[in-house]
Amino acid sequence: MNDISSFHTNRRTFLKWGASAILTTVFAPPVLAAVDPKAHHPHILSFYNIHTGETLKTCYRSSGKLILRAVNRISHIMRDHRTGEVKPVDPALLDLLHRIVMEEKPRSPLSIISGYRSPSTNEALRKVTSGVALNSLHMDGRAIDIRIPGCQTNALRRLAIDLRCGGVGYYPESDFVHLDTGPVRVW
C-alpha cells in the first residue's frame, strides 16, 4: 500500500512540477521582446470591454504564427456592441497592441472603448458626435479606441506615435486613444 501511495504522490508531484514549468514558460514576461521585436515569444493580450463587461486574456500568436481561435475570440470581444456584428480584427492591430503592452506592462486589461463598428453604427455616431470618420477604419476591423488603467492617455498617445505603426488619435476629454493600422498620421 505504501508503494501505491508513494506512486500517486510522486506522480502528482511530477504533474504539478510539469504544469508549473509549462505555465512559467508560456506566461513568463518575454524579456527578448525589448531586444528583438521579431522574437517568437507568445503574444498575450488582455481586454476588458467597457460596454459589455466581458474580459478576455489570450495568446493570439505563438512561435510567430497566428492562433486563429484566439483571433476569433478577440474579434468577438471587439464586436459592435450595439448590433452584435463581428468583423475579423487586423492581426497588425493586435501586434501594435502587443508592442504597447510590452512597453507599458499594464497590470490591468486594455479597456476597449470602441472596436469594430458596423457601417450603420458608424453613421449613427457621425450624426451625434464629432471625430467619427466617414470611412472609419473601425468598420474594417483595423482600429480600436482604448485606455489602459494606470497609464496616462497622453503617455499612451506618445508611445503610439513613437511606434509609427498607423494612425493615432488623442481624445483627452473622453480619456482614450484611437489606434489604427492605416497610414501614419496624428490628430
Task: Give 141-159 pLDDT, tens digit per residue.
Answer: 999 999 999 999 999 999 9
Confidence of residue 17 (pLDDT cuts 50, 70, 90): low
CA distance linking residue 4 with residue 169, whole number of Å:
64
Domain limits, the chain:
1-31, 42-186
For residue 126, what is the enclosing H or E element? helix 119-128
User: In CATH, what number does 42-186 get?
Assistant: 3.30.1380.10
pLDDT in tens, 60-83: 999 999 999 999 999 999 999 999
Within 10 A of 143 (CB to CB), how many other CB atoms are there?
26
Return the pLDDT at 90. Answer: 98
pLDDT of residue 32 exceeding 50, the answer is: no
Strand partners, 180: 143
Helix, strand, coil content of the chain in percent (nearest 5): 40, 20, 35
Q: Report d(CA 86, CA 49) in Å as an integer.
A: 14
| Average confidence score pLDDT of the chain | 86
What's the pLDDT score for residue 26?
A: 43
- pLDDT score at 10: 56
Can you tell me whether residue 180 is helix, strand or coil? strand
The count of other CB atoms within 10 Å of the CB of residue 27 is 12
pLDDT at 38 over 80: no
Residue type, 39: A
On the question of pLDDT at 97 being above 60, the answer is: yes
